[in-house]
A and B are shown apart, each in its own frame.
Chain A
Amino acid sequence: MNEPARAAVQRSDGPTIARAQLGAAHDGLPELILGIRFENGVLSDVIVDNDAGIRLLARCGVDRIEDLVGQSWREVRNALLEE
């Protein structure tokens, strides 16, 4: 993880990515399966498609899926909304 990414993790508030894994989507493309941890402790799965997943890694300044852990849910939202 690079320095800007580490700094982003440290100042993150609200729900964060607690788990990130590579999965296989129904259409034969890879996808990201993220576990989002909410402030009340609940862990909820969010699945991100191939294109949005690539954007998410870029937004977070990381190049390994496991380094998404600790990033804000806002990055996930923005990666999904970006086209």
Chain B
Amino acid sequence: MYDYVIRNGFIVDGSGLPAFKGDVAIANGRIAAVGGVKGPARQTLDATGRVVAPGFIDPHTHFDAQLLWDGEARPALAHGVTTVVPGNCSLSLAPLKAVHREALSGMFRQIEELPKESLDGSAFTWTWEHFDGYLDAIRERLSLNVAPLVGHSVIRLWVMGEAAQQRASTPDEQRAMQALLRQCLEAGAVGLSSSYVDVDANLHPVPSRFAHSDELDALAAVLGEYGRVLQVVPEFYNTDITIARVDQLAELSLRHNITTTFSPLFDSANTPQNVPRVMARVREQFARGARVWPQVQTRPIDISFCFDMPSLFFAGNPSWFNFMRMPRDARAAALEDPAQRARLIAAAGADGGSAWLGGLVIRLVPGDNEGIEGRTLGEVAATRGHGCAEAMIELSREHDLKVHFLAANRGHENAERIGPLLADPLVHIGASDGGAHICSFSTYGDTGYLFSKFVRETHALTLEQAVKKITLDTATIWGLRDRGLLHAGYAADVVVFDPETIDRGPERPVHDVPGGGMRYVRDSVGVDAVFVNGALAYDRDGYKSAHSGAVVV
């Protein structure tokens, strides 16, 4: 007797081979059979017209804190993501001495934009110091799988204390870090993350940035003992330094026989040679036998701003830019002056700012009594009988300058360049940053966007290629041995979706962060059912609190 049989679907099994029509049987948390399945089942799911695929794996997230109150990492699970890798960018919530909690919370708040209350112990109880204790704290409520990285910065903080943000380590300290890393890997860490970019709440470099190369080499040697992964954030804003980091990672990969990955790698019209140059060096290093996987995100980058903070967005228009860089109180006062408002409106152009501002999306309106979140400024201006500049000014005045606007697709947006990059066999699709930057933009739905934009619209990847990229390829790169394929014996992480509609929904603000914080999310579109280790964890009726997730390596 099978637990489930998913019948009559198009099976895209993660291998990259062509889809075929058939059934998938699940028993005891595993794939029991694939193809024409005979025999009874406790429950069946009709997948006619739907794709049945392995659950998606997101290799770059910051769900470390969220998993303490939300074991479904909402809305990631609803998008078909069945395994997440938290602990990226040198930051994890363990190992962490109690005395360092406030310091690390500051780093998390800076990077993830979480309210203080979400990390001060009111949303969860700090019960751990060691890595296995953190895993125990999240394990019970997990409804998706977690392959956690341990952060280089917290390892440094544990061993060196305040000196972790002051100096390089001594040989004794490096030996202590190696021992601590071994403990974490034994407890279930999938690897180590490091960063050359991130800063803490005081804008000081995070501890990993004070490490010299010998320290990273010593830690990579430990990763080699366990066959685990090294993730690094390089100085991605500079092509030459990124290439140097590719070389450094390649040497570590070859010396210690480890997989390395770096993220992010962005394409931009302003720096068109960045991706070609970095990828050329990645190819050279793979040809030498190194493993240096660049992570590329699927979604474009948007610019967001509000009148509450100065923004370079206006630096193409002197009148508006000079207004925006006034002190905050002067800026608010200027908007109350009819003459100044008239000057700004005139400076927006003869069309009232329609061409310049009309396409902006209104993202966040405190209270939003008009129901205008998600609409364009042009639409709202027309409804109000205003020009676009006037509507923007009036909205900001009405809400104490706290209305947020979004200029969409301003970076990493050229599908003709991004599509082939995502399809490149040496590119690792990832870098979603799920759970981070939550007050600035939504980091959920990149998998749906992969299918809607790059499979259906531009045909940069076939359906089978796209599924393989975010299932078997990811599982292989990260050493997740029984995930990423719909083959008998593999873990039954399965997503059922409509290939004609799967997508990410529109971005919207929600207020569900402990402590009253808001975040932007995108709902899933076209995902019918998600199984995690054989249990139905999500379907169109909602989340199931299946608690079937596991810590996986």
Residue among B268, B317, B412 with the highest chain A CB neighbour number at 10 A: B268
0 or 1 for each of B264-279: is its CB under 8 Å from A? (1 = yes): 1010101100000000
Q: Which residues of B contact A24 (CB under 8 A)?
A: 268, 301-303, 410-412
Residue among B237, B301, B325, B437 with the highest chain A CB neighbour number at 10 A: B237
Q: List B235-279 residues whose CB lies under 8 Å from chain A.
A: 236-240, 264, 266, 268, 270-271
* Known contacts A28-B304, A33-B268; A64 and B240 CB within 8 A of each other: no
Cross-chain contact B240 with A28 (CB below 8 angstroms): no
Is A11 part of the binding interface, using a Cβ–Cβ cutoff of 8 Å? no
Q: Which size class do A's interface residues fall under?
A: 20 to 34
Q: Which residues of B contact A21 (CB under 8 A)?
A: 270
* Known contacts A24-B410, A27-B440, A33-B270; A58 and B325 CB within 8 A of each other: yes
Cross-chain contact A30 with B305 (CB below 8 angstroms): yes
Residues of chain A having any CB pair with chain B under 8 Å: 21-33, 44-47, 50-51, 53-54, 57-58, 63-65, 83
Q: Among A27, A45, A46, A53, which residue has its beta carbon within 8 angstroms of that of B312?
A: A53
B262 to chain A, nearest CB (A): 13
Cross-chain contact B301 with A65 (CB below 8 angstroms): no
0 or 1 for each of B331-374: is its CB under 8 Å from A? (1 = yes): 00000000000000000000000000000000000000000000
Is B441 part of the binding interface, using a Cβ–Cβ cutoff of 8 Å? yes
Cross-chain contact A26 with B315 (CB below 8 angstroms): no
B226 to chain A, nearest CB (A): 31
Is B310 part of the binding interface, using a Cβ–Cβ cutoff of 8 Å? yes
- Chain A residue, CB-CB nearest to B437: A27
Tell me the bound Cα distance from A16 to B303 in angstroms: 27
Cross-chain contact B325 with A30 (CB below 8 angstroms): no
Cross-chain contact B304 with A63 (CB below 8 angstroms): no
Is B20 part of the binding interface, using a Cβ–Cβ cutoff of 8 Å? no
Cross-chain contact A30 with B318 (CB below 8 angstroms): no
Cross-chain contact B271 with A63 (CB below 8 angstroms): no
Tell me the bound Cα distance from A24 to B303 in angstroms: 6
Tell me the bound Cα distance from A64 to B203 in angstroms: 28
Tell me the bound Cα distance from A26 to B443 in angstroms: 11
Q: Among A28, A47, A54, which residue has its beta carbon within 8 angstroms of that of B325?
A: A54
Cross-chain contact B437 with A65 (CB below 8 angstroms): no
Tell me the bound Cα distance from A33 to B316 in angstroms: 14
0 or 1 for each of B87-101: is its CB under 8 Å from A? (1 = yes): 000000000000000
Q: Among A32, A45, A51, A58, which residue has its beta carbon within 8 angstroms of that of B238?
A: A45
Cross-chain contact B318 with A63 (CB below 8 angstroms): yes
Q: Which residues of A contact B312 (CB under 8 A)?
A: 22, 29-32, 50, 53-54, 65
Is B122 part of the binding interface, using a Cβ–Cβ cutoff of 8 Å? no
Is B44 part of the binding interface, using a Cβ–Cβ cutoff of 8 Å? no
Cross-chain contact A29 with B311 (CB below 8 angstroms): yes
Cross-chain contact A65 with B316 (CB below 8 angstroms): yes
Tell me the bound Cα distance from A28 to B266 in angstroms: 13
Tell me the bound Cα distance from A32 to B412 in angstroms: 15
Cross-chain contact B302 with A28 (CB below 8 angstroms): yes
Is B286 part of the binding interface, using a Cβ–Cβ cutoff of 8 Å? no
Is B322 part of the binding interface, using a Cβ–Cβ cutoff of 8 Å? yes
Q: Which residues of B contact A28 (CB under 8 A)?
A: 301-304, 437, 440-441
Is B490 part of the binding interface, using a Cβ–Cβ cutoff of 8 Å? no
Cross-chain contact B315 with A63 (CB below 8 angstroms): yes
